[in-house]
Amino acid sequence: MYYSFIILLVSIIKLISSNPGHLKPFGSVGSLINIEEINEKYPNILEFFTYYISKSEPILSRQVLINDLYYNIWKTDEQLENEVDGLSKINIYVQSLKQQQQIQMKFGDFIDKYKKGHLFIADNLPEIFR
């Protein structure tokens, strides 16, 4: 009986030491895998597929949009509507979450109403979004 208790105790200690996060609060031991972090730039498409996709490697990207040419246009609805020439005048079809019918309106009107009216673009998506 005493020997079986010792064997059980040794097995538990071995299990805990081989799994550093075992029986500890979630996230308390940090990341158990090494994740590469990319700051302020995108990898080019060849690097991305060669080093990350083909090897199923995760990456963490931080602030990669800061240097993007179009990032400032997309910050707010007002900037998107006013800074992209002619965008607010394009006709689109929208649909409400409540009603199952499509209605036509200008993109500028959609920007003003989509949050309050729970609208989404159903058809004729402007070219800049494709």
Residues 97-119: tens digit of each pLDDT: 777 788 888 888 888 887 787 88
Least confident of 7-16, 60-69, 84-93: 7-16
Neighbouring-strand partners of residue 62: 39
CA angle 118, 124, 127 (to 5 degrees): 110
pLDDT at 10 over 70: no
- In contact, 59 and 38? CB cutoff 8 Å: yes
Sketch the domain layout of the chain as residue ranges: 35-68, 71-125
pTM here is 0.47
CA 118 to chain centre: 22
Confidence of residue 16 (pLDDT cuts 50, 70, 90): low
Confidence of residue 20 (pLDDT cuts 50, 70, 90): low
Query: CA-CA distance, 18 to 16, in Å (whole number)?
Result: 6
| SS3 at position 24 | coil
Q: What is the pLDDT of residue 89?
A: 84
Tens-place pLDDT, residues 74-99: 777 787 777 777 787 888 888 887 77
Query: CA-CA distance, 105 to 64, in Å (whole number)?
Result: 34
